[in-house]
Amino acid sequence: MFRFCAWVALLVALPPLPAFAQEQQDAGNPSAIDPIPPQVPVEAFTARSEFGSAKLSPRGTRFGFIHRSGGQTSVVLVDAGTREPVHAIRVDEDYGLRWFSWAGEDRVLLSIETKQWFFGLPLPITQLLVFDIATQETSSIGFDYQGPEGDDVLYIDPYGRYIVLSVSEDWKSDPDVWRFPLDGSGAAGAVKIESRKKGIEEWFADSSGVVRLGVGWTMGKSAIVYYRSGPEDRFKRVAKIKQHDEANDYWNVLGIFEGRDTGYAIVQDPSGRQVLREFDYSTGEPGRLIHAQPGWDVDAVNLDGKQVLGITYTDDASRTVWFDEDMKRIQRELEQALPQSRIEIISRAGLERMLVLEHGPSDPGAIYVYDARARTLDLFANLRPQIDHTQMAVPHGVTYTARDGQSIRAYLTLPKGREPRGLPLVILPHGGPYGIRDTLRFEDWSQLLANRGYAVLQPNYRGSGGYGEAFETLGDGQIGRAMQDDLDDAMDWAVAEGIADPARVCLVGASYGGYAALWGVIRNPERYRCAASFAGVTDYDAQFKYSGKSLERRYRREWKHRLRGTGEGEIDLKEVSPAHQVARLVRPVLLAHGKKDSRVPFSQFEDMATAARDAGKEIELLELDDNHHLTKEENASEWLETLVEFLARHNPAD
């Protein structure tokens, strides 16, 4: 499954990057039209390493990042001092790499995803492995027979000796908690440290690895919480919370700390925004307010042991607010060293060494290594070495009003060198759909399409995350309905502004965005000339049946509620599923899918293709030997080449 070798000379020293274009928050008319840039090859948008995944080891001696090339996925390990590659942990193409993490300085954990047939359905399962740098050997963590979630790590020993893992013995059982050694002995050396308890589906450990909290869900959709203050105490039931009770937020565990009952929780305040508060696990009572970001949700917390260093939030882009004075100073110095750019500290080993991402909305950016002792900031790699960011379009944030009066934020990318009047438009809805959103950042597909002469509009339709719970829940039961209206209203805005030609609009998307593209062109053929979908859902009943089997009970119930709505508003998903409504299709469609997709199964593609054939509808089909994320560069390139050619035929830019 895996093979290991020293990394060859793939990474080279790169010249310093030129300054990035100043970010603009809202659309405006440029004072002058730039010349039309040359066409950038499709491969420039697909040939890259995921340096953004880079993580420093605990003491900062090494860092790793995910690299994908030629269908091969690897976790590359680099000496942080010399920046010389040390090893590459190569993952077989039949397995999807979900994440990696350091276990001490000399071991790396990897979570992979594969499929297992269950009652005739290929369902995703996760497995955990450990790679030992000294021996260059890998070993499995877990049992030969276990439940579908094999990577629920509760604690990693900072010295890399063991992990604490929650795992079920089969698909139906509640999980036990085990301590697994990382010395290669695998299951033979595992010790059960907490036996399953009826109804507890999820366990949490504290900062020293002691299991302190368990949560289960009743048939009546209530959460039952069990807690103990220390390893010598017994678990006690401390809370019972109904599914939609606001108290649920407090039990989204951010951290349980050795020697105390108080931790932190991101919860909703009376205004509907997410804020950071203290929380007492032993009583279920909230404590003092730590931070509320005016106008925006708190997304995440930066912790160092028991100390809160800062928080992140997202307006049009991700931002960090540091409370720690040292981190404030370092952030300020980095921004002075790399002006006119967004600066994100993506990984750190204390205050001594950090990995820094410099980027902009029209620039994919670069990774730097910051060494506090040496007072150096060294360029490590460009994220898209084949792209000249000065030739890319600068996306802008815009706001429009939906037909029911709801304000919707979107991002508009105008083709460089063309007057922004009467342009061909591509509406590019994001995936998810719930809790996910687009931001003002470099985005490959929108930049490629803009480079080919299209205006691109990315609406954060209702149901998207980041705008408060009230906005997100507006999407409940609105798939194919109000969520689709928001896309139509985005088109109307662009036409009313004079930006888009109403006769030259197409929909393009992936995953949920692929669904929205298909459904939009079926539902409103008078609006759209064509649609292109990659990995789109075509039958929501079948998708719910597929995904529901691998979801925990509470998530399965929640997703059902979100998809179908409740009460009088409950929807028959067949009425908004393209595979069931394809007889209405009168516009050109490009349908693409990966055969190894474990998120939206390939059967969704097959069902749509069969339904179209039976209805006498001709659609363009593209099958790719890949997964939901198109990890093979050649497949990503084939999809984008096919997409560009499809749009050129059915909605030419010039």
Q: What is the DSSP string of 563-627?
A: HH-SGGG---GGGG-HHHHGGG--S-EEEEEETT-TTTTHHHHHHHHHHHHHTT---EEEEESS-
The whole-number pLDDT of residue 92 equals: 77
DSSP 3-state of 487? helix
252 close to 240: Cβ distance less than 8 angstroms: no
Share of the chain above pLDDT 90, in %: 68
Share of the chain above pLDDT 70, in %: 89
Among 400, 396, 423, smallest CA distance to 493 is for 400
DSSP 3-state of 151? coil
Assess whether pLDDT exceeds 70 at residue 509: yes
Among 77, 83, 79, 48, smallest CA distance to 64 is for 77
Assess whether pLDDT exceeds 80 at residue 261: yes
The whole-number pLDDT of residue 284 equals: 87
The whole-number pLDDT of residue 91 equals: 85
Q: How far is CA 574 from CA 372, 480, 578, 600, 647, in A?
A: 58, 10, 8, 17, 28
Lowest mean pLDDT of 17-26, 237-246, 552-561, name the range: 17-26
Assess whether pLDDT exceeds 80 at residue 51: no
Assess whether pLDDT exceeds 90 at residue 358: yes
Under 8 Å CB-to-CB from 461, ≥6 apart: which residues? 408, 429, 433, 475, 483, 486, 487
The whole-number pLDDT of residue 275 equals: 92
Average pLDDT over residues 543-558: 65
The whole-number pLDDT of residue 245 equals: 58
pLDDT band at 259 (very low <50, low <70, confident <90, very high): very high
d(CA 341, CA 335): 7
Assess whether pLDDT exceeds 60 at residue 4: no
d(CA 427, CA 479): 17
469 close to 462: Cβ distance less than 8 angstroms: no
Write out the two tokens for 582: 């394809």
DSSP 3-state of 67? strand
385-441 confidence digits (pLDDT tens): 889 989 999 999 999 999 999 999 999 999 999 999 999 999 999 999 999 999 999
More confident site: 599 or 27: 599
Average pLDDT over residues 158-185: 93
Q: Say what the alpha-carbon torsion angle 139, 348, 373, 105 is, to the nearest 10 degrees.
A: -10
The whole-number pLDDT of residue 16 equals: 32
Write out the two tokens for 269: 């305040």
DSSP 3-state of 44? helix
The whole-number pLDDT of residue 557 equals: 64
* pTM check: above 0.75: yes
The whole-number pLDDT of residue 243 equals: 62
The whole-number pLDDT of residue 631 equals: 81
